[in-house]
Structure 1
Amino acid sequence: MKRSSKNVFPLKIDELEQLMKSEFDKSPDLSFSKYEHQNKKIAVFFIPYQVQPDRVENLLLTPLLESKEEWSNTAILNKIPLNSGKEYQQMDEILPGLIAGKVMIYIEDEAAVVSYDFLNKEKRSLEGAETESVVIGPKIAFTESLVTNLNVIRWNIRTPDLAIEEITIGKRAPREVRLIYLKSLANDTDVDTMRQRLNELDVDNVEDSNVLMQYIEDDSASIFPQFHTTELPDRTSYAILKGKIAVLMENSPSALIAPSTFFSFFESTEDLYMRWNSGSPLRFIRFMSMFISVVLTPMYVAAVTFHYEIIPTQLLISIGQSRAGVPFPPVFEALFLELMIELLREAGARLPTKVGQTIGIVGGVVVGTAAVQAGITSNILIIFITISALASFTAPSYQMGTSIRLLRFPMIVLAGILGLIGIMFGLCMLIIHLLKMTSLGRPYLSPIYPIRFEDLNKALYRLPQNFQYKRFISLSLKDSIRFSKRNAKEKKDIDE
């Protein structure tokens, strides 16, 4: 489709029709209708499947053609009671407007075209979350409709303090993006940084918010996600109320939350809805599971390959018996089983739900049993691999869980080459990498580095609600106090 940035008006109706058909060369999508009203020729043109035909007929064409008034651009904008009316003079404004669901009206010999927005937005209804399962709390998830998602956020945070900024990204296929934060709470530097990264994004198109995250995150080479992506509106609202920034994108069912820390990826909304003495142990289990998933299988490989002395005698005998017929060294054996686990997981995720569950269960049992009986692997290693896989699935964030699973492969290789020294080397390199990382310019390992003792009860564990009177100090928010500490401790009966 050819484009022109020139102001070609005023024009005759027939000249405008030929110009529009040339712009939409070899495309039958454009509807161009010509009318005569009060001795003036009027053209109405739009893309039919992009607009709502009933609203165009009732709210625009009927008042336009049945009125006795002599129309001009100014009269149309004043008399037709629609607040989306605008005037366009250049073709590079008209063409994107047609694609965006606008209806254009041109009165012959006028200096501009009048447009109204009648976009027909296809959307699915609000449903439960697919990738972030919750037992306690709201179940609804975002949809691909930006309007619907904003409506849910507005419903959750009903305050005029909520700021929603409109930004358009993408040159060839523009997409609407919304920057959302609380004006009286969010750090101005964080807001300015996120706004700058979105405005300076110079790409043809951005397909989804997950792709957007890869463009604007601090370190695109890192295996760890630096912004949190979630499909839960209540998690997004909770983050905004904590002083963080959310980004919603048209045609994307997930939101970006920034800045995010390493520990925030192991938080679940259920931690908030459960009692503190139940939520804290569950969060600790997730941290422990992450560590187990990374080091358990490499520890087995290192112990069996180099360090027999650290294995108890009875267990060493069992391991020796199970590996008696295995022709491969432990490192190849572990990599083979890890690869099988990932293949089964990927196949189960890509197949239809019922078939995927069957493949995951039956495939795991069949492959594991056949591998042991064929002497390819030992049954004890299968137990370690299974525990490591289960531990990685406890991460509430799918992206963080994937990162942890991928870390096991280099750790197994290091354990097979250098033993425990290799594991320690890998862990040291991992910690150094995490210490260097940032999210929207803020330390990724906060509040551990730099240490903030006041924030530990928000990142690593939970305290009762009446003890959490301060917000996250590490975010440098405009208001760090949630409520009065003294008033929170006062409890009175109704007769006092």
Structure 2
Amino acid sequence: MKWLSLKNGSLGDDDIDTDKEFTTDIEHNEKVLKETFQDCSDLIYRRIEVRHKLQWLIIYIESMIDPKLLDEHVIKPMLASPTRGKPTIEAGDLATDLISIGSTSSSNKVSETVRKLLDGHAVVLTAESSCVMAFSIPGLSKRSLEESSSEPVIRGPKDGFIEQLSTNLSLIRTRLKTSKLKVEYITLGELSQTHIAITYMKGIVREAVVEEVRSRLKQIQLKGVLDSGYIEEFIEDQPYSPFPQVHSTERPDVVSAELLEGKVAILVDNTPFVLIVPTTFWTGLQASEDYYIRWPSATFARWIRFLFINFAIFAPPLYVAISTFHQEMIPTNLVLSIAASREAVPFPAMFEALLMEIIFEALREAGIRLPKQIGPTISIVGGLVIGQAAVQAGFISAPVVIIVSITGISAFTIPRYSLANGVRLLRFPMLFLAGTLGLYGIVLGFLGILLHMTSLRSFGVLYFSPIAPLKLNALKDVFVRVPIWAKSRFRTKPDHDGGGQGRLG
């Protein structure tokens, strides 16, 4: 998308003189705005005349404002004002004498008024005044609050973020009712002018982290920011790493918990996904539901995730390495069974496993893109039919189908979708190493992954912390979810040791 870059020149509102001001001639001011919004048919101009003379001019974008609220709280009071003997109310008196809805602001700058209109405000021009009033009027109905589709839970809050920034902030405010919760606004995107909110807990977060977030965001130069994913790629420390160094979530309870741990949340308008920094590898293996169920069950679930993330990476490579180079490590009956199943297969084990992995990923992708009503059915039936037919035709062996299926299921045990995607990518280079070097290749690949993870940082925090470097006091919320009754107080200082999103400490 060429429009993402600013290298070809900016296309924003640069042709608007930022120093240009309105005059006291309302007709001239109307002409200025019409020239600025030339060919914008959705910009509405409502003229209110008093004694056959233009007194007020109301301007708004019809798709961004509720017309019923505009008529009830703005236009009707203005139409009724001459009968109350106030035909010449100044612009600054509108908010106090006539209009009583939303927040108000005033300016005599053309560029600021244009920005207010694009943000969904209604602006009012007054005769014989260079001051323009802007009123925040709620727009049309937004998507209702729903449970997160990417992070469902059986027990826990069922609300999720939506595409409206103000609503998302209110979901956090209702959970953290304290003045220590700070919100800073910035705007990114030369054309989109997307509003970004930086949220953190004063006194808990490290100021250096907040300053680093501000610095990285200010360096972003894009023509449009349509989703938080654009920002994520700009602010992460190692963009070429398969491991996500920025945590994204749709759940307000997760964001609130991370803020209590000294993290910084970045909310982007028009997207339900919130970015959280810094993060660690272990955070990606912790689900929000871990803190809503009893600790033995939560701990067992974590152990299952730790086990199956290794399955997701190393199960196919181990099969390829052992069946190709190290048959002596397999029990005799099992090796005979594998040999019998592979007797009619024309491909080597590495190519066979690679082919099945690609087919499985294609089925997974198709299941996501297909309509919800038939997607899961097609994925399951397609997998069964293709797998059974391939085995009967002799293209692949039954053990490979079993191992690839277990591997695919293992990846879905990872709570964080972005981490699961990275884990899936690692299987392919590991398969190549296993097919060429055997177990030695797997060991080399494992050491390479380990060295890479220990070298990563997320906004100054070591990605593999608290394992590397080892910090015993921070391990209590990594492998074991410590009972809440064993924790004495809410954390009042930042936890940057990768302890996850535990709420108490």
Q: TM-score, normalised by structure 2?
A: 0.90
Equivalent pair of 1:218/1:441 in contact (CA under 8 Å): no
The residue type equivalent to 1:270 in the other structure is E
**What is the aligned counterpart of 1:475 among 482, 490, 496?**
496
Matches within 5 A, 1:40-439: 41-67=55-81, 68-69=85-86, 70-80=88-98, 81-82=100-101, 84-439=103-458
The verdict on how the C-alpha distance between 1:483 and 1:414 changes in structure 2, with shifts beyond 3 A counting, is: closer
The residue type equivalent to 1:30 in the other structure is L
Range moving further from structure 2, 421-430 or 10-19: 10-19
Return the offset for 1:91: 2.3
The residue type equivalent to 2:163 in the other structure is E
Say whether residues 1:456 and 2:475 are aligned partners. Answer: yes
Q: Distance in 1 between matches of 2:141 and 2:93?
A: 32
Equivalent pair of 1:452/1:474 in contact (CA under 8 Å): no
Q: Distance in 2 between matches of 1:474 and 1:303?
A: 43
**What is the aligned counterpart of 1:28 among 28, 41, 44?**
41
Deviations 1:184-237 (Å, cap 9, x if unpaired)?
Answer: 212221122112222332222211122221121111111111111111111121
Equivalent pair of 2:471/2:497 in contact (CA under 8 Å): no
Return the offset for 1:291: 0.8
Equivalent pair of 1:298/1:412 in contact (CA under 8 Å): yes
The residue type equivalent to 1:48 in the other structure is E
Say whether residues 1:13 and 2:26 are aligned partners. Answer: yes
Q: Distance in 1 between matches of 2:140 and 2:219?
A: 28
Q: Distance in 1 between matches of 2:22 and 2:277?
A: 46
Return the offset for 1:37: 3.0
Q: Distance in 2 between matches of 1:144 and 1:417?
A: 48
The residue type equivalent to 1:323 in the other structure is R
Return the offset for 1:83: 5.9
SS of the residue aligned with 1:45? strand
Q: Distance in 2 between matches of 1:277 and 1:131?
A: 25
Q: Distance in 2 between matches of 1:444 and 1:476?
A: 9
SS of the residue aligned with 2:122? strand
Deviations 1:239-283 (Å, cap 9, x if unpaired)?
Answer: 122222222221111211221110000101121112222211210
Q: Distance in 1 between matches of 2:400 and 2:154?
A: 33
Equivalent pair of 1:172/1:204 in contact (CA under 8 Å): yes
Q: Distance in 2 between matches of 1:198 and 1:98?
A: 25
Q: Comparing both chains, which one has the higher relative contact order based on Cα–Cα distances under 8 Å and sequence gaps of 6 or more?
A: 2
Range moving further from structure 2, 188-197 or 403-412: 188-197
The residue type equivalent to 1:196 in the other structure is S
SS of the residue aligned with 2:174? helix
The verdict on how the C-alpha distance between 1:289 and 1:317 changes in structure 2, with shifts beyond 3 A counting, is: same
Q: Distance in 2 between matches of 1:410 and 1:468?
A: 43
Return the offset for 1:11: 5.0
Range moving further from structure 2, 410-419 or 18-27: 18-27
Equivalent pair of 2:367/2:376 in contact (CA under 8 Å): yes
Return the offset for 1:473: 6.9
Equivalent pair of 2:45/2:58 in contact (CA under 8 Å): yes
Equivalent pair of 2:26/2:129 in contact (CA under 8 Å): no
Deviations 1:406-448 (Å, cap 9, x if unpaired)?
Answer: 1101100111111111111111111111011111121000101
Equivalent pair of 1:452/1:473 in contact (CA under 8 Å): no
Equivalent pair of 2:148/2:251 in contact (CA under 8 Å): yes
Q: Distance in 1 between matches of 2:301 and 2:49?
A: 72
Equivalent pair of 2:123/2:134 in contact (CA under 8 Å): yes
Q: Distance in 2 between matches of 1:473 and 1:334?
A: 45
Range moving further from structure 2, 462-471 or 187-196: 462-471
The verdict on how the C-alpha distance between 1:36 and 1:353 changes in structure 2, with shifts beyond 3 A counting, is: closer
The verdict on how the C-alpha distance between 1:473 and 1:13 changes in structure 2, with shifts beyond 3 A counting, is: closer
The residue type equivalent to 1:73 in the other structure is A
Equivalent pair of 1:187/1:475 in contact (CA under 8 Å): no
> Percent identity among equivalent residues?
36
The verdict on how the C-alpha distance between 1:291 and 1:411 changes in structure 2, with shifts beyond 3 A counting, is: same
Equivalent pair of 1:469/1:482 in contact (CA under 8 Å): no
Q: Distance in 2 between matches of 1:35 and 1:135?
A: 56
The residue type equivalent to 1:76 in the other structure is L
The verdict on how the C-alpha distance between 1:323 and 1:75 changes in structure 2, with shifts beyond 3 A counting, is: same
Range moving further from structure 2, 61-70 or 329-338: 61-70
The count of corresponding residues between Structure 1 and Structure 2 is 481
The verdict on how the C-alpha distance between 1:476 and 1:380 changes in structure 2, with shifts beyond 3 A counting, is: closer
Q: Distance in 2 between matches of 1:33 and 1:361?
A: 57
The residue aligned with 2:10 is: none
Return the offset for 1:464: 1.9
SS of the residue aligned with 1:156? coil
The verdict on how the C-alpha distance between 1:457 and 1:160 changes in structure 2, with shifts beyond 3 A counting, is: same
Q: Which runs of 5+ in 1 are unaligned?
A: 485-496
Deviations 1:343-381 (Å, cap 9, x if unpaired)?
Answer: 111111111122111111111111101111111111011
The residue aligned with 2:5 is: none
Q: Distance in 2 between matches of 1:27 and 1:482?
A: 50
Equivalent pair of 2:25/2:129 in contact (CA under 8 Å): no
Equivalent pair of 1:393/1:401 in contact (CA under 8 Å): yes
SS of the residue aligned with 2:374? helix
